[in-house]
Every structure is written in C-alpha cells, then in structure tokens.
C-alpha cells in the first residue's frame, strides 16, 4: 500500500505499508474451510512513513491463535512484537520545530531512535461479522535506545467491527467501524460502507468523524486485488485542504481460489 498526503507540499507525509500473512490451515490444503478449521497464523507488517524531518520505519511480527467455539464462531487471540526506528534530519526542521526544546538540539545534524514494544488483540469472528479489540504500545515505549525524542509513548486502544450481507448472487454489502483512543490525542471514529458487485468490483464511501470523507473503488481477481482511496479533509478539521491518495495491491499465494473473493470486508 502507498499513501500520499497533501500532494504538492514539501515534507508532506508519504507512507508505505507491506504485509505478509500465513495461515497454516491454507498451507495444509484445508481449502474453503481454512477460516474455521485453522488454528495458527503468523504475520509480518512493515510500515515506512516520511513526514517533514522524520523518517519512521516500523516492523511488527505477530502470531494469532484461532479457537473454534461453535460451528460458525471463532475466538482469535493475537500478540505482536513492534520494532520502531525513527530518524531525524535536523537540516529539514521548520522554524517552529527548531524552537522545540527537545528536537531543536538536533538542528543541522542527524539523530536516530529505536523503540521496542508489544501489541495485544482479541477478535470474535463469524462468516458475516466480526468484533475486535486491540492494544498497541502496551509497554508505552519503555524499551528504547539511541537519541531520545520523547520519553514514553501513549498506549493505543482500537475497537473494530464489521458486517457483511449477501443480498443477491451479484450484490453484497459490507460495513466497517473503527474507534481509536489515545490519551494524548483526540479519539478517532471512522466508518465506511461498500458494495461488492459480482464478487469482482467494489465501490464505497467512508467518513472519519470531524476529519475527512473518502471514496474508494477496487477490483478482485482470483489471486490479486487492486484498490484506490481518495480522501478529502473537512473544512472544520483545520487540516491542509489537499486530498490524500491511497493505492493498494494484495496477492494470494496459497489457499482455495474459489473462496477468496468472499473474504472482502
């Protein structure tokens, strides 16, 4: 995934996200039943964000265990190790940043900081819906080395839910909700709705409360998905009035091709 914010502004945020997931039930040939019968999965997430004088790289290695609690319900428990590497280019500090008591000392020089932390999560899943809770930065950035830009980080709580319903052979609807809470930032509430046509094309719209509206479109093949999101900040959010462009591509290497399209949320 590639995310470009405030296009045309020097130092505007540019984000890159790469993720790989392995469900051992799919590797063993469980086919369409892998989502119910599988018990173990691993994931690797790599995120790189450039904004102003900062270059932020984050690597998360995660494990999830699936517990089948009924014919159609699963409880999923997961944990992850989060390694964060932040670089600061003091030559790109703005006049406001140069006056900061902490990062201003690095003007016209370079600095690096490393942080090791942990994530925890749980989810209740069904063929047609899911509810989950996750906690990020559980240790609040206590394990750190290098130059210190900040003493501790705030723990982040994230609640997510989604529902999907097939209305006809060629039309399905899916909706998602997310609530993100962090002590030192305003709470973030986001939801979106998408329509999936013939299990091949989706179009949708979303809203981040008091921040932005977005529109998205995507295409689905047996082993490939492509998506695009166009996000527009709201006037009352006091954000820069430039749109954000987000491009996404995902590939399936294993598993039952006939069931892949139905996994879209």
Q: pLDDT digits over 99-141, tens only? A: 777 777 888 889 999 999 999 999 999 989 999 999 999 999 9
Range of the domain at 96: 2-251
Q: What is the mean pLDDT of residues 32-58?
A: 84
Residue 133 in any domain: the answer is yes
DSSP strand pairing (74-89 vs 54-68): antiparallel
Q: Which strand (E) or helix (H) includes residue 172?
A: strand 171-182
The pLDDT confidence band at residue 261, using thresholds 50, 70 and 90, is very low
Residue 205 in any domain: the answer is yes
Q: pLDDT digits over 12-22, tens only? A: 788 999 999 88
Residue 11 in any domain: the answer is yes
Residue 265 in any domain: the answer is no
Residue 256 in any domain: the answer is no
Residue 258 in any domain: the answer is no
Q: Residue 221: which CATH number?
A: 2.40.160
Task: Give the helix ranges, DSSP H, for the chain.
Answer: 24-27, 34-37, 95-98
Residue 154 in any domain: the answer is yes
pLDDT for res 123: 96
- How would you label 48-64 residue by residue, b for 16+ Cβ within 10 Å and e otherwise? ebbebbbbbebbbebeb
Residue 113 in any domain: the answer is yes
Number of compact structural domains in the chain:
1
């Amino acid at each position: 995934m590639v995310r470009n914010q405030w296009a045309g502004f020097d130092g505007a945020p540019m984000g890159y996200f790469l993720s790989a997931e392995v469900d051992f039930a799919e590797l063993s040939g469980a086919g369409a039943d892998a989502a119910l019968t599988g018990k173990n999965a691993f994931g690797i997430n790599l995120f790189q964000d450039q904004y102003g004088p900062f270059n932020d790289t984050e690597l998360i290695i995660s494990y999830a265990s699936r517990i089948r609690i009924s014919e159609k319900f699963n409880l999923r428990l997961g944990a992850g190790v989060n390694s964060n590497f932040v670089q600061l280019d003091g030559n790109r500090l703005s006049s406001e940043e140069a006056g900061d008591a902490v990062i201003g000392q690095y003007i016209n020089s370079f600095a690096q900081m490393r942080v090791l932390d942990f994530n925890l999560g749980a989810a209740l899943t069904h063929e047609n819906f899911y509810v989950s809770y996750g906690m990020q930065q559980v240790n609040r950035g206590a394990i750190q080395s290098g130059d210190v830009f900040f003493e501790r980080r705030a723990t982040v709580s994230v609640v997510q839910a989604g529902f999907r319903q097939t209305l006809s052979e060629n039309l399905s609807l899916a909706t998602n909700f997310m609530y993100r809470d962090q002590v030192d930032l305003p709470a973030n509430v986001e939801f979106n709705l998408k329509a999936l046509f013939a299990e091949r094309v989706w179009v949708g719209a979303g809203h981040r409360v008091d921040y932005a509206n977005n529109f998205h479109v995507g295409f689905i093949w047996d082993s490939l998905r492509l998506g695009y999101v166009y996000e527009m900040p709201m006037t009352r959010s006091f954000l820069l009035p430039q749109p954000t462009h987000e491009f996404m591509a995902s590939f399936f290497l294993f598993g039952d091709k006939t069931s892949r399209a139905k996994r879209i949320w």
